[in-house]
Structure 1
Amino acid sequence: MGEFKDKTKGLANEAAGNAKQAVGDATDNERLRAEGAAQERKGEAQNLTGKVKGALGDKI
């Protein structure tokens, strides 16, 4: 996967994770908050992967 795809997927996962956390907060649903936090972290990792690939020219 290239830099752009990683960054795009990462941003999408971060946004979805934030939305899940907000719904979890509003409904007092701890499971949904935890899922949202995990998905947000996954997105941050994907975004970082994209940045690294960009810096290395997609050689990894």
Structure 2
Amino acid sequence: MGIGDKVSNKVDETKGKAKERAGDATDNEQMQAEGTAEQSEASVKQSGEHVKDAAKDIKK
């Protein structure tokens, strides 16, 4: 996984956490759900990148 992908995924995860916390603080369930979804999306992206890395390692 390239450093740019790692940074991008981490930024998305952090934004999701911030949005979820803001939703918690304001009792906004929709914002909480959006934050959780953004975190999940970032996690899936990271998993996909790990799979790509593993496939590259196998080809070597």
TM tier, smaller? 0.7 to 0.9
Unaligned runs of 5+ in 1: none
Runs of 4+ in 1 over 6 A off after TM superposition: none
RMSD after superposition: 1.9
Q: Structure 2 matches for 1:30-49, cutoff 5 A?
A: 30-49=29-48
The TM-score normalised by the length of structure 2 is 0.80
Mean Cα deviation higher: 20-29 or 3-12: 3-12
CA distance in 2, matches of 1:33, 1:48: 23
User: Whose relative contact order is higher, 1 or 2, with alpha carbons under 8 Å and at least 6 apart?
Assistant: 1
Equivalenced residues, count: 57
Q: Where does 1:1-60 land on structure 2 (aligned, <5 Å)?
A: 3-4=1-2, 5-57=4-56
Structure with higher helix content: 2
Decide which structure has the larger Cα Rg and report it. 2
Structure 2: give runs of 5+ residues left out of the alignment.
Answer: none
Q: Identity over aligned residues, as a percent?
A: 39
TM-score normalised by L of structure 1: 0.80
